[in-house]
Chains A and B, each alone.
Chain A
């Protein structure tokens, strides 16, 4: 077993470059996904049958098909129907839509944790629905959902390497470019592996900190 870890060290600056893109993609997609999921959660609560049916189909589609296929659909198939996206945009779109489906379900759970009485109390106080949502309900739903939401963020990070398959130059693709040139895949991949581990590990520890800060009570 003769692994030359000087290759790992040499590759690090380039890998970190790619990691920056990974983090950007993850934050952007997760942020957009939170917004979309919030909208869908509010819309779902209106209980309009046909709309809820569409949302159900969307969630079923996302949960039953591989993310890689969703990414390929966004990049290779959308152009066929006229929507031509660059690799980065197609990637963000696919990852956002993917994460939003799961986040919507997470928020559904968080919403259930908000006592029913709060809706009624706020309503009887004369608050507008939009205020009730924004100031009373959603904040509590989010706080109750912190553990699964942070977990979802790590899942988003773990989805980003798939974007290498449509040439987004994030960490995985950087690693591929480097070891294609120096023929030392193991050393380079170990470097990338460590960086991914570090990112996910830090995020999951951050979850513990956030839970303490917001005093999340696990039911």
Chain B
């Protein structure tokens, strides 16, 4: 072999290697939606104030964002209300086109699903009964009964929190109770079944606001993180479209209006740096 052909061979090999390492061809979901003019989304309508049921209809912050996007897409919407345990598996199983429900950007999720730009902050916080003076800081949660949602981000977040307590030399939780939905955990907190609920800040803040005198926030138990919507990993074009719309809503102020309406406070929506390493 001559020197030239050898180098050509290496170049060709390198090119094939690079092409092979590139992400697979974008999925066809976005194109299909545009051609049949209909989109099916999965929502867990038990996550106030993002998506929940009022008078038999799905409403909330997330629903308002979806309405804006659907108007722009100009397609027919079918919104499926599913239990949380069926949302992410259902997405991968192709039961619907994307997840229009708030999903925390957990490290173990970001390489399996394509997240949009955040629609809210998702830092894990804790909530207690107002007037429960035995809990003044998050360290006092040691030895208490903690509640969160089955199969949600609250579970690994609680486990990490417990590990943190133990590392400080404190006892872990007395018990961790899992509920099929968060509203059940709020009820359990109110009637004393659990002492603390672990969930993302915006949800807890709204619950405290709606039930003044019943609940109170304790403190953050994790690092700042965010929540957004999710598409299948191959549908990065759909994900990019959704992200662009969310950023558009942020930049024209509409998103902040919705935040005022549903939360009573505003959260920063960063354009980048919101995903842990290794994300799609």
Contact = CB atoms under 8 A, between A and B. Distances in A.
**Is the A/B pair a real complex?**
yes
Interface of A: 14, 17, 75-76, 79, 84, 87, 165-167, 169, 177, 179-181, 183, 185
19 contacts: A75-B86, A76-B86, A76-B89, A79-B93, A84-B95, A165-B83, A165-B180, A167-B81, A167-B82, A180-B181, A180-B184, A180-B187, A181-B48, A181-B52, A181-B54, A183-B187, A183-B190, A183-B214, A185-B187
Most chain B beta-carbon contacts within 10 A, residue among A76, A165, A166, A183: A183
A183 B213 CA distance: 14
Given A181-B54, A183-B190, A167 B83 contact: yes
Nearest to B86: A76
A79 B82 contact: no
Nearest to A14: B56
Contacts of B190: 183
Sorted nearest first, the 7 A-B pairs with minimum C-beta distance are A180-B183, A177-B53, A79-B93, A167-B83, A167-B81, A185-B187, A167-B82
Contacts of A76: 85-86, 89
Contacts of A179: 187
Contacts of A180: 46, 181, 183-184, 186-187
Contacts of B53: 177, 181
B134 interface: no
Interface string B43-66: 000101000111010000000000
A84 to B, nearest CB: 6
B248 to A, nearest CB: 32
A177 B214 CA distance: 20
A52 B83 CA distance: 38
B contacts with A: majority SS: mixed
A165 B46 CA distance: 13
Contacts of B86: 75-76
Interface of B: 46, 48, 52-54, 56, 81-83, 85-86, 89, 93, 95, 180-181, 183-184, 186-187, 190, 211, 214
A10 to B, nearest CB: 12
Contacts of A167: 81-83
Contacts of B81: 167
B187 to A, nearest CB: 6
A87 B86 CA distance: 11
Contact of A79 (B46, B54, B95): B95
B56 A84 contact: no
B93 A84 contact: yes
A81 B44 CA distance: 24
A167 B190 CA distance: 24
Contacts of B214: 183
Nearest to A174: B56
A169 to B, nearest CB: 8
Contacts of B46: 180
B18 to A, nearest CB: 36
B147 to A, nearest CB: 14
Nearest to A179: B187
A91 to B, nearest CB: 13
Contacts of B95: 79, 84
A19 B74 CA distance: 36
Contact of B211 (A75, A79, A84, A183): A183
B83 A166 contact: yes
A179 B184 CA distance: 9
Contacts of A177: 53
Given A76-B86, A87-B82, A167-B83, 5 more contacts: A75-B86, A167-B81, A181-B54, A183-B186, A183-B190
A185 B180 CA distance: 16
